[in-house]
A and B are shown apart, each in its own frame.
Chain A
Amino acid sequence: MCEQTSSVVTDLNGDGRSLSQLGSLEYDPAPESVAVAHVRPSYGLFIDGVFTEPSAHEQFVTLNPANEEVLATVARASSNDVDHAVRVARRAYENVWSKTSGAERAKYLFRIARLIQERARELAVIETLDNGKPIRESRDIDIPLAAAHFFYYAGWADKLGHAGFGPEPQPIGVAGQIIPWNFPLLMAAWKLAPALAAGNTCVLKPAETTSLSALVLAEILQQAELPPGVANIVTGDGATGSDLVDHPGVDKIAFTGSTEVGRGIQQRVASSHKRLTLELGGKGANIVFDDAPIDEMIEGIIDGIFFNQGHVCCAGSRLLVQETVADEVLRRLVRRMEQLRVGDPMDKNTDVGAINSAAQLARIEELTSYGESEGATRYTSSCTLPDKGYWFAPTVFANVAQSHRIARDEIFGPVLSVLTFRTPEEAVVKANNTNYGLACGVWSEKGSRALWVAQRLRAGVIWANTYNRFDPSSPFGGVRESGFGREGGRHGLEAYLNV
């Protein structure tokens, strides 16, 4: 299945002998210590400031996707537990948090941010164990960004009157928040920080396969002495999420996840008083013009699709490359892909880690199989994959047509589809020819062209000469089937204010 490619700088003799092997200096294993995670054998629900047993005493296991070993058991919240959490959040809202001044709320948020920094190493390790992402990414991106979101919204808490939503914008009430498994702690921060800053109380449901970092965050909330009930964390599967969505005591639902589930949520809250923000799937186009800075552009494409194993809603999963440079870009891209270090996520030198779950791996495998049957040309990294765990080798499809499923469906894995275009107009038409609209990238050294294209792209986020850059001060969110509402920045406050 795997097409072998050689990661050579050039082949002078044309006889297959490599002239210069990239990455030939083998790096010995450089594993981060598992022990610093302090994983407990089992975790309860975090309701009213304490860890509690689920009422039905149900537990489920959470695995390390890199080796399929059980990490811990986690409580499954029943309808009763969700009801309890929502009531507690309501009480905390009425009695405590809505009466707490912005400056006082900020104090707690600053504390949480600092505690995340203090426990950053522990959080990074537990995130990597539970999610399968490389420790380099959880250490350098997920955890620092999570802290940055709390710092950022802490700053807003006492300045809401200056955010452009009227002189005294009021919170909404109790927010039910459901987050995905791809950036577990970071998504928790994206949800909790603006909600708490704006004066809401929260019931957060982490994804079934990645509950652990949210539960460490629960410990941090305790350490920060956040008043009981202000933020509650209920673990469970889709049924728990449904209970939260359907609970009449919830005033707002914020959901990040698949478009399919998001569509169902929207239907279910349609006849209620609940407000809704959705951050859903994507099929981001990374548009490459022939005057792009080539080395950085290749890195940007690689980062756009292989960052976090491609488990990124805004991943640049469609590469639109100008025909004049298509061969050159593809050649360099495949060479660079071949260099990616795939394997043990706990190794500090790993670039691409494990697929988060067996179910996701099956979905990637299924969608990828259409690529070949529909006539695209497949290039797959020749890396050796570990025997145990869920793994998928980085893959690029060339000669992809707009009509192929791999150009239309969100794969949510390390799989890139390469298409070509001839003119800027054609690039824009192709980029917009999708149901999604979350993120796009434009690569060109010509500023006016990048702006011309950006103005015509229908997506919430456009990156120019970079990709997958996140900052708490910058709003993030989609249009069309990628959802609505913004997270991050001043805009992110609107989702949690009665405006």
Chain B
Amino acid sequence: MSFGVASAVPSITSETELRARLSGLSGVDAVGLEARCAKLATRSLKKATKLTAIDLAISMVDLTTLEGADTPERVRSLCAKALRPDPRDLTVPSVAAVCVYPDLVAHARTVLGDSSVAVASVATAFPSGRASMAVKLLDVADAVDAGAHEIDMVIDRGAFLSGRLGHVFEEIVAVKETCGAAHLKVILETGELVTYDNIRRASWLAMLAGADFIKTSTGKVSVNATPQAALVMLEAARDFAEATGQLVGVKVAGGVRTTKDALRYLVLVNETAGSAWLTPERFRFGASSLLNDLLMQRLKQRRGSYVRADEFSGD
């Protein structure tokens, strides 16, 4: 029996090659996948494990504000929260990143400076992705120029669903090039891809095209991150690492609001992809209200009783 692996991402030179590669992937059995998720959801994290997992989850949060009503002031207060989620307890880790629209990247950078908290920006005509390639690339360049460390792009779901896989691939390659040193997260918008087979194929497509992260959702459609979609993506990241040696991160976004949800995702990571993904380098939660619930549960674990929601700032 061999545990040997290949050690490079295969170069894809044509749409035919890409299509062959993706259609060669194993199918996903929906019933089995959902049963696996349900079983893992019964894992019981107690005591020290729970505290470790809560701190890990806090360190994995991309604290996000993506509203039309966002202002520099709003971003400034969010950044303060990101740096010190609970200012009275400095053992609480900072979050991984603050995620904003491109025009607010500079404001975020002003507060965060060269701290450990990265600035992530959505781009490529987020959330729909319905713009020309030129516009999308300008959007990316704009965010990168303003100092974004990470770019969260959306794929062209229309192109994917109509079978123009080469187009989706080329867009990701071009965005990656425009990103330069910035890390690229590729949003699949799993709620619009609908089937697990599609999610698996889109995950591989994005990874083959050079994604540093694959991300479930924009948070702007009716179905956002689900444990099932995350499980398919974690399996894809694990198998991709095995085939190529490249470790691609996974980000779940939208609808993750409670500590219970977050811990269930960490169980999926733990039992599917393993330790290499149990780090903010390779797993993220795109969320806003999740952070306060994590802080609340953290304090509850330590004190033994719950505190009022107003104990924490409402950012």
Per a CB cutoff under 8 Å, which of A21, A136, A398 touches B275? A21
With A293-B29, A348-B44, A465-B32: A27-B49 Cβ-Cβ less than 8 Å: yes
Contact residues on A (Cβ < 8 Å of other chain), bracket: 35 or more
Question: Taking the complex as formed, is A56 at the interface, i.e. its CB lies under 8 A from any CB of chain B?
Answer: no
Given A9-B273, A20-B275, A22-B271, A327:B42 Cβ within 8 A: no
Say whether B314 faces chain A, with CB atoms less than 8 Å apart: no
Query: Is B132 an interface position by the 8 A CB rule?
Result: no
In the complex, chain A residues 419-465 whose Cβ is within 8 Å of any chain B Cβ: 445, 465
Is A260 positioned at the interface, with any CB of B under 8 Å from its CB? no
- Are B47 and A12 in touch, CB under 8 angstroms? no
Interface residues in A302-336 (C-beta closer than 8 Å to B): 327, 330-331, 334
Say yes or no for B242: interface residue by CB 8 A criterion: yes
Could you tell me if A30 and B44 are in contact, using CB atoms closer than 8 angstroms?
yes
For the complex, what is the distance from the CA of A19 to the CA of B274, rounded to whole Å? 9
| Cβ of B235 under 8 Å from chain A | yes
Contacts of A330 in B (CB 8 A): 1
B4 located at the interface, meaning its Cβ lies under 8 Å from any Cβ of chain A in the complex:
yes
Closest Cβ neighbor of A25 among chain B residues:
B270
Residues of B within 8 A of A465 (CB): 29, 31-32
Contacting pair A445 B27 (CB below 8 A): yes
* Contact across chains for B36 and A299 when beta carbons are under 8 A apart: yes
Tell me whether A327 and B2 are in contact (CB under 8 A).
yes
Contact B44 A20 (CB under 8 A): no
Distance (whole angstroms) from the CB of A444 to the closest CB of chain B: 10
Residues of A within 8 A of B36 (CB): 295-296, 299
A384 is an interface residue with CB less than 8 A from chain B? no
> Is A235's beta carbon under 8 Å from chain B?
no
Minimum CB distance partner of A465 in chain B: B29
Residue from A10, A27, A334 in contact with B242 in the complex, judged by beta carbons closer than 8 Å: A10
What chain A residues lie within 8 Å of B90 (beta carbons)? none
Greatest chain A CB density within 10 A among B1, B247, B273 is at B1
A41 touches B (CB below 8 Å): no
Closest to B272 in A: A22
Cα separation A14 to B44 with both chains bound (whole Å): 35
Most chain A CB neighbours (cut-off 10 Å) among B27, B33, B278: B27
Count how many pairs of residues, one from A and one from B, have CB atoms less than 8 Å apart in the complex.
Answer: 124
Residue of B35, B44, B266, B272 ringed by the most chain A CB atoms within 10 A? B44
Q: Please, which residues of chain A bring their CB within 8 A of the CB of B27?
A: 291, 293, 445
A10 near B271 (CB under 8 angstroms)?
no
Known: A295-B26, A349-B43. A9 touches B32 (CB 8 A): no
CB-nearest residue of chain B to A290? B26
Residue of A nearest to B38 (CB): A140
Shortest Cβ distance from A133 into chain B, in angstroms? 15
* Known A-B contacts A296-B36, A299-B32; A10 and B270 likewise in contact (beta carbons under 8 Å): no
A164 at the interface (CB under 8 A from B): no
| Chain A residues, CB < 8 A from B1 | 327, 330-331, 334, 398
Chain A residue with Cβ nearest B26 = A294
Q: Is B48 an interface residue (CB 8 A)?
A: yes
Contact B46 A30 (CB under 8 A): yes
Q: Taking the nearest CB of chain B, how far is it from the CB of A3, in angstroms? A: 10
* CB atoms of B31 and A27 under 8 A apart: no
The residues of A that contact B278 with a CB separation of less than 8 Å are 24-25
Alpha-carbon distance A354/B48, docked complex (angstroms): 26
Chain B contacts of A331 at CB under 8 A?
1-3
As a 0/1 sequence over residues 394 to 408 of chain A, the CB contacts with chain B under 8 angstroms (1 = contact) are: 000010000000000
Minimum distance in angstroms from B15 CB to a CB of chain A: 23
Which of A20, A26, A28, A295 sits near B273, CB closer than 8 Å? A20
Asked if A29 is at the interface of the complex by the 8 Å CB criterion, the answer is yes
Q: Mark A352-371, 1 if CB is under 8 A from B, else 0.
A: 00000000000000000000
Q: Does A78 contact B (CB under 8 A)?
A: no
Bound Cα distance from A27 to B271, whole angstroms? 11
In the bound assembly, the distance between CA atoms of A10 and B4 in angstroms comes to 8
Question: Which chain B residues border A12 with CB–CB below 8 Å?
Answer: 5, 7, 245
Q: Which residues of the partner chain B approach A466 to less than 8 Å between Cβ atoms?
A: 29, 31-32, 35
Q: For residue B46, which residues in chain A have a CB less than 8 angstroms away from its CB?
A: 27-30
A30 cross-chain contacts in B, Cβ below 8 A: 44-46
A296 CB contacts on chain B under 8 angstroms: 28-29, 31-33, 36
User: Are B44 and A293 within 8 A (Cβ)?
Assistant: no
> Bound complex: CA of A22 vs CA of B247, how far in Å?
15
* Interface residue? A374 (CB, 8 A): no
A26 and B7 within 8 A (CB): no
Contacts known (A9-B274, A292-B26); A26 close to B31, Cβ less than 8 A: no
List, in ascending order, chain A residues with CB within 8 A of B275's CB: 18, 20-22, 24-25
**A9–B47 alpha-carbon span in the complex (Å):** 28
If A20-B241, A300-B32 touch, does A28 touch B5 (CB 8 Å cutoff)? no
Instruction: Tell me whether A23 and B270 are in contact (CB under 8 A).
Output: yes
Q: Which residues of A contact B276 (CB under 8 A)?
A: 9, 19-21
Q: Are A25 and B52 in contact (CB under 8 A)?
A: yes
B229 interface residue, CB < 8 Å from A? no
Cβ < 8 Å to A, chain B residues 233-288? 235, 238, 241-242, 245, 247, 266-267, 270-278
Give, as a whole number of angstroms, the nearest-CB distance from A432 to chain B.
25
Contact A293-B45, Cβ < 8 Å, known A10-B242, A10-B245, A24-B270: no
Q: Is the CB of A293 within 8 A of B270?
A: no
A114 to B152, CA, bound (A): 51
Given contacts A10-B5, A27-B49, is CB(A293)–CB(B28) below 8 Å?
yes
A293→B26 contact, CB < 8 A: yes
Nearest CB in chain A: distance from B144 CB, A: 30
Whether A11 and B42, one on each chain, are in contact in the complex, defined by CB atoms closer than 8 angstroms, is no
20 extra interface residue pairs, beta carbon distance < 8 Å, beyond A8-B274, A28-B50: A9-B273, A10-B241, A12-B5, A22-B272, A23-B271, A24-B278, A25-B270, A25-B275, A27-B44, A29-B46, A293-B27, A293-B32, A295-B36, A296-B33, A297-B29, A297-B32, A299-B35, A331-B1, A348-B43, A465-B29
Cross-chain pairs A/B with CB under 8 angstroms, 16 sampled: A6-B3, A12-B245, A20-B275, A21-B274, A22-B270, A22-B271, A22-B274, A24-B274, A24-B275, A25-B52, A25-B267, A25-B275, A26-B49, A294-B26, A348-B43, A348-B44
Residues of A participating in the B interface, judged by any CB pair closer than 8 Å: 6, 8-12, 14, 18-30, 136, 140, 291-297, 299-300, 327, 330-331, 334, 339, 348-349, 398, 445, 465-466
4 A-B pairs with least C-beta separation:
A296-B32, A20-B276, A24-B275, A30-B44
Chain B positions within 8 Å of A, measured between CB atoms, are: 1-5, 7, 26-29, 31-33, 35-36, 42-50, 52-53, 235, 238, 241-242, 245, 247, 266-267, 270-278
